[in-house]
Amino acid sequence: MRIISGKFKGHALSAPKGRNTRPTSDRARESLFNVLAHASWAPPLEGARVIDLFAGSGALGFEAISRGAAFCLFVETESAARGAIRDNVEAFQLFGNTRIHRRSAVDLGSKPASAGAPFTLAFLDPPYHKGLVEPCLKTLVDGAWMADEALAVVETDASETFEHEGWEAIDQREAGKAKLTMLRRL
C-alpha cells in the first residue's frame, strides 16, 4: 500500500498485521481522491481539516495530507492499527499535522476545544455490515465535530444501506465490492 499522489507520492504505508483491518484499495483511493479533486461540490483539500474514523493504517488521512490537507485526526480503537498510524506519522514527520484519538468512532462525545476548529472532511471506513455508519454520523453532528457543509465520505459494502439524518447524499460510486457515498453536512 502506497501514497498515490502529492508530496508523499510513492511512499509505502505501514499497515497493521492480521485481518482486523480492511484497507481501502489503492485503486479505490485513487478514484475517490480524483473525485474530491474535481467535483464542484467537494471542499478543497488544500488546508482541509480531516478526521479519519475507523482509521486502520490511516491511508485515507495520509493521502489527504499528501494532497494538501493541513491536519488529520485519526480515530482508531485497535492497538495494532494505532501503532501503524504512529509508524506512518514518524516516517512522514507529521507530528504537528496529525493526532491519534483512541476512542470509538460511534461514541466520540462533544468535540473538545483542544481538537481545534471543526473538521471539513471526514472519512468513515467501518467494518462492513456492523451498523456503525449511522451512529458515527450522528455523533459527528451531535458532538459538533464537523463544520457546516463539511463532507463525509463513507465506504461500505456495495449491498449496504444506511440512514444519514443531518447529512445530504450528494454522490455515490462503486469501487469493486465497495460503495463510496459522499454526504454533505446540513
**Domain count along the chain:** 1
Residue 128 forms part of a structural domain:
yes
Residue 134 forms part of a structural domain:
yes
Who contacts 111 (Cβ-Cβ below 8 Å, separation ≥6)?
Answer: 118, 143, 144, 145
Cβ 90 vs Cβ 100: under 8 Å: no
Average pLDDT of the segment spanning 73-85: 96
E strand map for 13-166:
49-53, 71-75, 98-101, 119-124, 146-157
Task: State the residue range of the domain holding 67.
Answer: 26-185
Residue 46 forms part of a structural domain:
yes
Write the burial class of residue 19 (CB in 10 Å: 0-12 exposed, 13-18 middle, 19+ buried). Answer: exposed
Q: DSSP class of residue 6?
A: S
Residue 38 forms part of a structural domain:
yes
How far lies 125's CA from each of 92, 132, 152, in Å?
22, 9, 11
Residue 8 forms part of a structural domain:
no
Residue 156 forms part of a structural domain:
yes
Residue 1 forms part of a structural domain:
no
Grid cell digits, residue 54: 475507523
Task: Give the pLDDT score at 16.
Answer: 84
Q: List, in sequence order, the alpha helices (H) in the chain.
A: 26-38, 59-66, 79-92, 133-142
* Assessment of whether the complete model's pTM goes beyond 0.85: yes
Cβ 102 vs Cβ 82: under 8 Å: yes
Task: Give the pLDDT score at 26.
Answer: 75
Task: Give the pLDDT score at 27.
Answer: 78
Backbone angles phi, psi at 31, to 5 degrees: -60, -45
Residue 54: pLDDT band (50, 70, 90) is: very high
Nearest to 183 by CA among 136, 142, 143, 113: 136
Residue 145 forms part of a structural domain:
yes
CATH number at residue 136: 3.40.50.150
Please check the confidence at residue 23 and state whether its pLDDT lies above 60: yes
> Helices (H) and strands (E) in the chain — how many of each?
4, 7
Residue 18: pLDDT band (50, 70, 90) is: low
Task: Give the pLDDT score at 19.
Answer: 57
Q: What is the Rg, in whole angstroms, of the alpha carbon atoms belonging to the chain?
A: 15
Mean pLDDT computed over every residue of the chain = 93
pLDDT digits (tens, 9 = 90+) for 147-163: 999 999 999 999 999 99
